[in-house]
Amino acid sequence: MKEDSRRLANFRVHLVPAVLALANPPWQRDVWLDPSAFENLDHIFHTLFDDFCDADNPESYLGTSLRTQEEVVLMRQLGTALNAATADAPDDTDEEHLASRAWPEVVAIAGRLAQVMVANDLKELVALHESEPATDDVLPRTSEAAPQAHQIERGTAGNHGEEGPA
């Protein structure tokens, strides 16, 4: 694996879960509002604005933590929405952010961005898998290895139609 690919993967290991957390209101309430929890909204802000991206200026992270121009556009929109929520949180508490009028927009944009990021990562994983020499026939070497989002039906375990665990 090339050094640039390693760096991109390392950044995304941090960035994708932060975006997923923003797209998940039950997680936000259960974790961020629990003072004993290991994560809070401050961690998310540092991940998105300081450590692994700059949601105000995401263009410079294309190829570093963002894979496509679509991700750049959505990250900028997410940064704008997060800044609007922060403006509604004068004491900068997680509770104020979650109660902000702008918070539903944060969740919606994060959901779109998460879907795009995960789909792009799956495409990259399939390409990596297909570029490796065949060692066994356990995994298929076609794009069927990673279903497209529209191929997965709610309540199934993937593109085979089996019921997932209850």
Question: Which uninterrupted H or E stretch holds 120?
Answer: helix 103-131
Q: How do residues 88-145 score in pLDDT, each as one tens digit?
A: 999 999 999 999 999 999 999 999 999 999 999 999 888 878 887 766 555 555 555 5
Give this prediction's pTM: 0.78
Sorted by where each begins, the domain ranges of the chain are 3-151
Residue 43 or residue 129, greater confidence? 43
In this predicted structure, the answer to whether residue 165 has a pLDDT above a threshold of 90 is: no
Average pLDDT over residues 19-44: 95
